[in-house]
Amino acid sequence: MPETNGTEADSSGPRPGLRLELQAIDLDRDGHGLARWQGWVVVVPGLLPGERAKVQLQQRQKSRWLSRISERLDSSPTRRRPPCILAQDCGGCTLQHLEESAQRNWKQDQLHQTMLRLGGIDHPQAPALTDQRGLGYRNRGLIPLRRGEDDRLRMGYFRRGSHRIVNLSRCPVLDPRLDALVEPLKQDLDASGLSADHDLSQSQGLRHLGLRIGHHTGEVLITVVSSQQLPALQRLAQQWIERWDAVKGVTLNLQPRRTNQILGATTTVLAGAPTIRELFCGLQLQLSTTTFFQINTPQAERIVACIVSWLSQAELAGPIVDAYCGIGTISLPLAAQGHHVVGLEINPDSIDQARSNADANGLGARTEFQAGDVANLLKETLATCSALVVDPPRRGLESSVTEAILSEPPALLAYLSCDMATQARDLKRLLQPEGPYRLEQLQPVDFFPQTTHLENLAFLRRVSS
């Protein structure tokens, strides 16, 4: 069918207010519909691929136009009623209006297209490891707070494209054991009368409520993020510890700076313990307020099991290097299988936790953790290692890290990524014909149902020097 019926279109081209009839052909990374008109990309929030709608252009952003739907003309067979009543407004989830099987199909297609377009990689991928729960999978939440002009506390995630809170009393993607705490904690903070402003634009005081649970242990850690010390929180913290057996600790994290970084450098205990226990791949871990730990515990265990299995099939003469090791969630399961592992991480607090976790599990003799710049540490460790595991942040591998790998390429390389675009860019440099590696397997894993995010694991084997 034509891209538009030209209800108001003419040869003058796009302009704000222009009304068009468009059909979505894809989704963008925010879950918005994408259509084309006269060579322009038009973003249509709320439209699914295959659906037609009457839209009005609103604003140009570089090579694309933003629009809004005035009337949706048909519905995709994969459209559904979102499980959460706030899904249309809340920016926490972006695909709740799409059936979960269709979400998975779209994500896998995006991975294929991204690898092909940005990496020149046309390689079959294994079926994604999926989480059949769909909801209730998040073991952690950091929820913004603000007290309104009516003196009522509002708590919730931001409306899409803004810093305005969508007020909530429950969140169905949170672990149900955390979700049950949201409303009573909100009521207590509201009744306290404490000022609250998540971005400090109007006042000091409360900023975020943090909830964390050990998926396997059920232990809960509550964190209140504030710009200042608030003595009234001590009484509330003690009440929470006494009210809920699962709550093992309540902490106060101070973040006085106006920044998008939610957590500050200082955390103190208000009641109970500073950490909770979690079992991960059969190992004991301690999780604190600031510990980085995968949001979806069972999926993280599955992907670590894939890495352990793949590396254990080879005869490794030297140690395994785990770059960006965090608190040891990959290093320790590898060590538990008998491998010697060297973990590298820039965050010294994470390294301290990794060492503590290794000792607690009797793995101190088979692990070594080093804090510092990953590229520099790799130059010192790659010459003697037999395999490398990398799990970098969203920006992917720094060029200096890639250069270090290319200068001393280990026989095996496992690359776990939370951003398929940066991973495709990095793999293009590592794989033949320019690089020393051959791609053996792509294993996507869906950590975040109801969102557009997909993590991907690539297994590489060195075939040249």
- E strand or H helix at 143: strand 140-147
Instruction: Establish if 448 belongs to a structural domain.
Output: yes
418 a catalytic residue: yes
My answer on whether 317 and 455 are in the same domain is yes
pLDDT for 88: 86
**Quick one: which of 93, 110, 91 has its CA closest to 49?**
110
Helix, strand, coil percentages (3-state) for the chain, rounded to 5, are 25, 30, 45
Query: What is the dihedral angle through the alpha carbons of 122, 124, 129, 130, rounded to the nearest 10 degrees?
Result: 80
My answer on whether 313 and 379 are in the same domain is yes
Domain of 59 in residue numbering reads as 19-72
- E strand or H helix at 438: strand 437-445
Instruction: Establish if 57 belongs to a structural domain.
Output: yes
pLDDT tens string 346-391: 999 999 999 999 999 999 999 999 999 999 999 999 999 999 999 9
My answer on whether 330 and 222 are in the same domain is no
Instruction: Establish if 90 belongs to a structural domain.
Output: no
pLDDT for 11: 53
Instruction: Establish if 287 belongs to a structural domain.
Output: no
Residues 6+ apart with CB under 8 A from 443: 125, 126, 129, 303, 306, 456, 457, 458, 459
Last residue of a domain, one of 276, 311, 332: 276
Instruction: Establish if 80 belongs to a structural domain.
Output: no
Q: Which residue has the tokens 């249309």?
A: 88
My answer on whether 59 and 177 are in the same domain is no
Rounded distance between C-alpha atoms, residue 53 and residue 58, angstroms: 15
Q: How does DSSP assign 147-188, residue by residue?
A: E-TTS-EEE-PBBTTSS-B---S--TTB-HHHHHHHHHHHHH
pTM for the full predicted model: 0.93
- Residue 333, SS3? helix
Instruction: Establish if 360 belongs to a structural domain.
Output: yes
Query: Residue 195 sits in a domain of what CATH number?
Result: 2.40.50.1070
My answer on whether 41 and 59 are in the same domain is yes
pLDDT for 8: 56
Residues 6+ apart with CB under 8 A from 189: 145, 153, 155, 196, 206, 209, 224, 236
Query: Residue 49 sits in a domain of what CATH number?
Result: 2.40.50.140
Below-70 pLDDT ranges, the chain: 1-11
My answer on whether 144 and 263 are in the same domain is yes
Nearest-5° Cα angle at 84, 80 to 87: 80
My answer on whether 361 and 431 are in the same domain is yes
My answer on whether 332 and 356 are in the same domain is yes
My answer on whether 318 and 429 are in the same domain is yes
Last residue of a domain, one of 244, 276, 308: 276
My answer on whether 156 and 303 are in the same domain is no
My answer on whether 301 and 251 are in the same domain is no
Q: How many structural domains compose the chain?
A: 3
Rounded distance between C-alpha atoms, residue 307 and residue 457, angstroms: 9
pLDDT for 171: 95
My answer on whether 164 and 119 are in the same domain is no
Query: Residue 427 sits in a domain of what CATH number?
Result: 3.40.50.150
Last residue of a domain, one of 53, 72, 91: 72
Q: Given 93, 171, 385, 418, which residue is catalytic?
A: 418
- E strand or H helix at 285: strand 283-287
pLDDT tens string 83-98: 999 998 888 899 999 9
Instruction: Establish if 94 belongs to a structural domain.
Output: no
Instruction: Establish if 8 belongs to a structural domain.
Output: no
